């Protein structure tokens, strides 16, 4: 009798142990699945910024990347706080795979990558250069400049990292009337042909006026205009670029991305701090998932034009996640120091590293 009770107790304990192990396995599988950054069932651009507790962020130490330009090098320029470096982007329902520079260089061995756009493209280009260089600090490299194109080559991998400064994407040319912004001309595109991966960007310059405006007339359809609605001009230029993509890109050989609108932070009312007129002194990101003031109209124009393209173009939809980072700009630790206030560009290390980490998750 005692033996039978003992056997029953033993079996009960064994079955209970099996049930516990199965439950733990199910939880582990759920956790593993939730941690997968797969693009098919997860929007990498919807999420929130969380403070990293693993000491894996920032993705590199800015002092170990000698290529960061003065206007982005916030720590070297005296920025006293460092908390802004410790946040990582966490998409809803999944996690980003951490950037691996070695894997990226192997993936693009013998290939060319070109960023095309304004100083925000330079921000992202330098970020990627630093991410790769700090992962392979002993790698041989070469830097050169040909016209408006800057080239950083990782010689051991044959990877060319290029930056073409083309702030409008369409052409600005000199004619008898003066400097002409030609909304339906894109001769500069000859530099983009045959590039293995292209990342485009434009918006930052479209609202410039006065002495900072680099054109005198707008030309479209054979007619000249002293000015026009800038959003309309922006759309016309993007449609010209879209036609170039459909005419020249070979999807089986090339990857094409468009960087979403990179936002500025000069109006605290938009993020819940009325009276604040710059990003100065901001040390933490917004905790919510969506920017209180919503998304800029220019992003809607951008998405509408991208929707007309027949060839494959992926939007790096970084606008909202960047809007949440009011703390990520150089402010008085940028180009002009305390005489200036830069709430448009981004510190490096910083937010553009996340743009590139998302890019990495999309291409690897």
pLDDT tens-digit readout, 63-72: 999 999 999 9
Candidates 322, 342, 344, 353; catalytic one: 342
**Which residue in 282, 263, 284, 286 sits closest to 332, CA to CA?**
282
pLDDT for res 16: 52
pLDDT for res 358: 98
Question: Does 345 qualify as catalytic in the annotation?
Answer: yes
Alpha helices in the chain (DSSP H): 2-35, 101-107, 119-135, 230-248, 297-306, 319-323, 351-363
> Has residue 54 got a pLDDT over 50?
yes
Instruction: Give percent of the chain above pLDDT 70.
Output: 89
Residue 4: pLDDT band (50, 70, 90) is very low
What does DSSP say about strands 171-175 and 87-91: parallel, antiparallel, or unpaired?
Answer: unpaired
pLDDT for res 227: 97
> Average model confidence (pLDDT) for the chain?
91
Report the C-alpha gap between 99 and 96 in whole angstroms: 8
pLDDT for res 26: 39
> Has residue 94 got a pLDDT over 60?
yes
Candidates 204, 265, 329, 345; catalytic one: 345
Q: Cα 99–286–87 angle (5° rounding)?
A: 25
Residue 41: pLDDT band (50, 70, 90) is confident
pLDDT for res 55: 86
pLDDT for res 17: 52
Kindly report, residue by residue over 217-231, the tens digit of the pLDDT: 999 999 999 999 999
pLDDT for res 333: 97
> Has residue 30 got a pLDDT over 90?
no
Question: Does 342 qualify as catalytic in the annotation?
Answer: yes
pLDDT for res 5: 42
Kindly report, residue by residue over 243-261, the tens digit of the pLDDT: 999 999 999 999 999 999 9
Kindly report, residue by residue over 167-176, the tens digit of the pLDDT: 999 999 999 9
pLDDT (mean) for 23-52: 64
The side-by-side arrangement of strands in the sheet containing 171-175 is: 171-175, 178-182, 217-220, 223-225
Kindly report, residue by residue over 293-326, the tens digit of the pLDDT: 999 999 999 999 999 999 999 999 999 999 999 9
Kindly report, residue by residue over 135-168, the tens digit of the pLDDT: 999 999 999 999 889 999 999 999 999 999 999 9
pLDDT for res 239: 98
Candidates 119, 166, 262, 344; catalytic one: 119
Assess contact for 48 and 289: CB atoms under 8 A: yes
Burial of 239 (0-12, 13-18, 19+ CB in 10 A): middle
pTM of the model: 0.88
Instruction: Give percent of the chain above pLDDT 90.
Output: 85
Higher pLDDT, 243 or 55: 243
């Amino acid at each position: 009798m005692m033996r039978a009770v003992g056997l029953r107790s033993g079996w009960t304990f064994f079955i209970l142990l099996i049930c516990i192990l199965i439950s733990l396995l199910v939880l582990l599988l759920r956790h593993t699945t939730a941690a997968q950054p797969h693009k098919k069932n997860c929007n990498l651009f919807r999420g929130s910024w969380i403070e990293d507790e693993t000491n894996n962020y920032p993705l590199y130490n800015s002092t170990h990347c000698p290529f960061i330009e003065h206007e982005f090098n916030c720590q070297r320029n005296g920025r006293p706080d460092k908390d802004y470096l410790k946040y990582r982007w966490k998409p809803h329902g999944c996690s980003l795979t951490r950037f691996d520079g070695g894997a990226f260089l192997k993936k693009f061995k013998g290939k060319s990558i070109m960023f095309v756009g304004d100083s925000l493209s330079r921000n992202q280009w330098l970020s990627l250069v630093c991410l790769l260089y700090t992962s392979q600090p002993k790698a041989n490299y070469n830097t050169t400049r040909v016209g408006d194109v800057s080239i950083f080559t990782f010689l051991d991998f044959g990877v060319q990292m290029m930056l073409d400064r083309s702030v409008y994407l369409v052409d600005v040319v000199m004619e008898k009337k003066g400097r002409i912004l030609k909304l339906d001309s894109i001769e500069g595109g000859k530099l983009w042909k045959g590039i293995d991966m292209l990342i485009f960007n434009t918006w930052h310059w479209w609202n410039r006026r006065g002495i900072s405006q680099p054109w005198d007339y707008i030309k479209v359809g054979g007619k000249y205009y002293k000015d026009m609605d800038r959003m309309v001009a922006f759309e016309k230029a993007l449609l010209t670029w879209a036609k170039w993509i459909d005419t020249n890109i070979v999807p089986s050989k090339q990857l094409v991305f468009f960087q979403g609108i990179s936002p500025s932070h000069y109006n605290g009312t938009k993020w819940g701090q009325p009276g604040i007129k710059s990003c100065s002194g901001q040390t933490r990101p917004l905790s919510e998932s969506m920017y209180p003031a919503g998304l800029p109209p220019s992003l809607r124009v951008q998405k509408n034009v991208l929707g007309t393209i027949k060839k494959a173009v992926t939007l790096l939809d970084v606008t909202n996640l960047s809007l949440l980072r009011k703390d990520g700009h150089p402010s008085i630790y940028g180009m002009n120091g305390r005489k200036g206030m830069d709430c448009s560009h981004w510190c490096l290390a910083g937010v553009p590293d996340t743009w590139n980490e998302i890019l990495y998750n999309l291409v690897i």
